[in-house]
Amino acid sequence: MVKVIIDNRGIPPLAGICNYESALKEGYSVERNVDLLRRYNYVKKTVHQVYNAHLARTPEWEVKCAFSYHLWLEAEHCAAIRKRVSEMREPPLKLDAIPDEKLKRLLDEVIRAEDTLELLVGIYQVIKPEIIQSLKKHLAETNPMADQPTLRLLKIILMEEEEMLTWGKAAISALIQNEVQEERAKSWEKHLTGFLQFAGGISGDSNNETAVLPEQRADGKEYEMDVVPQRDERFKDNFNQSALIDEYFQDPSRSLDERTCALLYKRLREMDVPEWMAPIIFKTKEQPWEYYVDMSRQLWDEARHAMLGEIGLYQEGVPFYNYPVDLKSSMSLNVHFEPLEAHLILWAIEQGLMPKKTGKQWEWEIATQSENKLAATIQDYDWADEVLHAQIGRKWLVPQFGGLEKAKSEIGHSMRKWGESQIQYRDMSKQEEWWTKFMEEVQQNKALNR
Ligand SMILES: [Fe+2]
Ligand SMILES: [Fe+2]
C-alpha cells in the first residue's frame, strides 16, 4: 500500500477515535458481532440470576452488598447490549433465547454452588476472567470506526467487569483460610473450567476438541433457589424485634441524637429488602428486560441504604453487627409468599413513606435538625431513592393486577396475612431489650471524642 500523507491541519482526525492505520482492519461482520453480543447477553443475564438466587441464602453481609451492586451492573450491561443488538439489522433479535446449549450447561453448574466459596469461584474465578478476555479480544478485533457504538459500550462494560473482578478476587482469598478450602476452590474451578472449555469459551471460538466434560451437578431440572435468608455468625439474635425504632424516631420526648440514631438503624435494617427482592426477581419470569433493570436498581438502592446505615453507625463508633439486625421481614416474605404478593407488600410500604408529614420528608427533617450532617445527607438520598421505588412499584405491579384500584384493594388482605406470618418468628428470640445499651455505647463514644 502506498503510504499517504494526509494534511489534517494538526487537528486529530477521525474524531480522535483511532488513527488511519488501525481503522484499516476488516474487523467483525455485523452478523459475527451480533452473534458475540448475544452470547455476552446470555451469560450476563444468567449470572444476574445466579446473584438473585443466592443473595438471601449467602450469610456474609459484605457478599450480599457486592452481589446487590454487581447484579444491578449485570442488568444494566444486558440492557445496553440488547439495545445495541437491536440497532444492527438482525431481526429476530433472539435476546431471550439460549445462543449455545454448551454455555447453558456451564451456567447450570455455576448456579449450583453449594456455598459462598464455590459461588465466588464460579463467578469471579471462572466466568468473569473469561468475559474480560472475550471483551478485550472483541475490542481489539472489531473495526473501531465502523463499529464504534459497540466499542464504546464494551469499553464501559470492561471497566466495570474489572472492578467486579478486583472485589471477587479479594473476597475469595479472604474465604480461603486453610488447605481444605483451597482444595475445594481448586476442584470447583477445575470442574467449571471443563464446561467452559467444552463450550469453546464464552465467545465459542476456542479450540475445544480435547475438552472432556466433567460429571454434571445439574440434573436436568430447573434450579430451585433456597429462599431462607441467612446472616453470618457475627450477627446475633436475628429475630429480636424489641427495639421499636419506627416509633423512637418519631418520639419528640427523645433527643434529636437518639431519633437520628433510630433513623440510621432503620437504614441498617434495610438489608432485608434485597433479601426479599432477589427471590421476586429470580422467580418472576418472562417480563420485559426493563422490569429486571428497574427491580435490580431498586434492590441495589436498598443494599445502599443498609450500607449507609452501616456507615452511619461507623461514625458513631459502633460495628454494624454488634446489636440485632432484625430478619423477620425477609424470612416471612420469602417463606410464606409468592413473588407478586411479596412485591405488593413492598410497594404498599413504600407508598406509605410518601406522605410529607410522616414519611421520608419527615425523616429527612429530623436528621437535618440534628447535628449529624452525614445523617442528613443519608436521609436526603434515601428519600430521593424511595420516590423512585414507589414509581417502580406502580409501573410494574399495576398492570399485573389489572389496574390501580385492583392492586390497592389487595393490599389490606396481604398486609394482614404478612402480620400473621410473622408471629411465629417472635418466639425465635427472647426479645431482650438492647436499644438502651446501644444508645449508651453511642453516648460514651461521643464523650470520648469530645
Ligand atoms: Fe430503602
Ligand atoms: Fe425502597
State the ligand closest to the CA atom of 298: 2
Cell of 179: 488447605
Separation CA 185–CA 173 (nearest Å): 10
Using the mean position of ligand 2's atoms as its centre, give its distance from the Cα of residue 77 in Å. Answer: 22
pLDDT number for residue 186: 98
Contact (Cβ atoms closer than 8 angstroms) between residue 14 and residue 145: yes
pLDDT at residue 209 above 90?
no
pLDDT number for residue 133: 97
185 and 267 part of one domain = no
Using the mean position of ligand 2's atoms as its centre, give its distance from the Cα of residue 269 in Å. Answer: 12
398 and 259 part of one domain = yes
Over range 41-64, report the average pLDDT: 98
Contact (Cβ atoms closer than 8 angstroms) between residue 350 and residue 395: no
State the ligand closest to the CA atom of 270: 1
HSE of 328, CA atoms in CB hemisphere, 13 A = 20
pLDDT number for residue 212: 84
Using the mean position of ligand 2's atoms as its centre, give its distance from the Cα of residue 3 in Å. Answer: 61
34 and 129 part of one domain = yes
Structural domain includes residue 411 = yes
Q: What angle do CA 105, 110, 111 make, to 5 degrees?
A: 100
Using the mean position of ligand 1's atoms as its centre, give its distance from the Cα of residue 382 in Å. Answer: 6
Over range 202-227, report the average pLDDT: 91
Using the mean position of ligand 2's atoms as its centre, give its distance from the Cα of residue 434 in Å. Answer: 26
Angle between helices 360-369 and 373-401 (to 10 degrees): 180
Residue with grid cell 441498617, as numbered in its chain: 268
Cell of 134: 472475550
Angle between helices 328-336 and 272-283 (to 10 degrees): 20
The whole-chain average pLDDT of the chain stands at: 96
Structural domain includes residue 151 = yes
State the ligand closest to the CA atom of 381: 1
194 and 252 part of one domain = no
Torsion angles phi and psi, residue 337, rounded to 5:
-125, 150
Using the mean position of ligand 1's atoms as its centre, give its distance from the Cα of residue 353 in Å. Answer: 10
Over range 28-32, report the average pLDDT: 96
159 and 252 part of one domain = no
pLDDT number for residue 214: 92
Q: Band of the pLDDT at 284, cuts 50, 70, 90?
A: very high
DSSP state of 213: P
State the ligand closest to the CA atom of 392: 2
The sign of the torsion formed by the CA atoms of 35, 40, 43, 45 equals negative
Structural domain includes residue 309 = yes
State the ligand closest to the CA atom of 272: 1
Residue after which a domain boundary falls, among 167, 198, 229: 198
Instruction: For residue 254, count other CB atoms closer than 10 A to its CB.
Output: 16
Using the mean position of ligand 1's atoms as its centre, give its distance from the Cα of residue 350 in Å. Answer: 8
Ion ligand 2, residue ranges at CB < 5 A: 386, 389
pLDDT at residue 90 above 80?
no
Using the mean position of ligand 1's atoms as its centre, give its distance from the Cα of residue 119 in Å. Answer: 27
Which among 349, 221, 344, 338 is positioned nearest to 285, based on CA atoms?
Answer: 338
The set of residues, in sequence order, having a beta carbon less than 8 Å from that of 29 and lying 6+ positions away, is none
State the ligand closest to the CA atom of 386: 2
Largest Cα–Cα separation, the chain: 86
Cell of 86: 437491536
Is 30 buried (19+), middle (13-18) or exposed (0-12) by CB count in 10 A? middle
Which among 63, 72, 271 is positioned nearest to 167, based on CA atoms?
Answer: 63
Which among 259, 265, 289 is positioned nearest to 95, based on CA atoms?
Answer: 289
Q: Band of the pLDDT at 2, cuts 50, 70, 90?
A: confident
Over range 363-369, report the average pLDDT: 96
Contact (Cβ atoms closer than 8 angstroms) between residue 267 and residue 378: yes
Using the mean position of ligand 2's atoms as its centre, give its distance from the Cα of residue 20 in Å. Answer: 50
Q: Is the peptide bond before 92 cis (omega within 30 degrees of 0)?
A: yes
Is 332 buried (19+), middle (13-18) or exposed (0-12) by CB count in 10 A? buried
pLDDT (tens digit per residue) in 323-357: 999 999 999 999 999 999 999 999 999 988 888 88
Using the mean position of ligand 2's atoms as its centre, give its distance from the Cα of residue 351 in Å. Answer: 10
pLDDT number for residue 348: 94
126 and 251 part of one domain = no
88 and 158 part of one domain = yes
Total-model pTM: 0.97
Using the mean position of ligand 1's atoms as its centre, give its distance from the Cα of residue 39 in Å. Answer: 34
Residue-range definition of the domain harbouring residue 84 = 24-198
State the ligand closest to the CA atom of 304: 1
State the ligand closest to the CA atom of 271: 1
Number of residues that this document lists for the chain: 450
Structural domain includes residue 8 = no
Using the mean position of ligand 1's atoms as its centre, give its distance from the Cα of residue 256 in Å. Answer: 21
CATH number at residue 304: 1.20.910
DSSP state of 98: -
Using the mean position of ligand 1's atoms as its centre, give its distance from the Cα of residue 113 in Å. Answer: 29
pLDDT at residue 295 above 80?
yes
Using the mean position of ligand 1's atoms as its centre, give its distance from the Cα of residue 10 in Å. Answer: 53
Is 52 buried (19+), middle (13-18) or exposed (0-12) by CB count in 10 A? buried
**How many structural domains does the chain have?**
2
Angle between helices 61-86 and 30-54 (to 10 degrees): 150
CATH number at residue 151: 1.20.910.10
State the ligand closest to the CA atom of 302: 1
Residue after which a domain boundary falls, among 141, 165, 198: 198
Q: What angle do CA 20, 24, 26 make, to 5 degrees?
A: 160
pLDDT (tens digit per residue) in 93-130: 899 999 999 999 999 999 999 999 999 999 999 999 99
pLDDT at residue 147 above 90?
yes
pLDDT (tens digit per residue) in 387-440: 999 999 999 999 999 999 999 999 999 999 999 999 999 999 999 999 999 999
Q: Band of the pLDDT at 1, cuts 50, 70, 90?
A: confident
State the ligand closest to the CA atom of 382: 1
- The 10 Å CB-count burial string (b at 16+, else e) for 418-427 is beebbeebee
Structural domain includes residue 181 = yes
Using the mean position of ligand 1's atoms as its centre, give its distance from the Cα of residue 319 in Å. Answer: 20
Structural domain includes residue 205 = no
pLDDT at residue 86 above 80?
yes
Instruction: For residue 206, count other CB atoms closer than 10 A to its CB.
Output: 15
251 and 399 part of one domain = yes
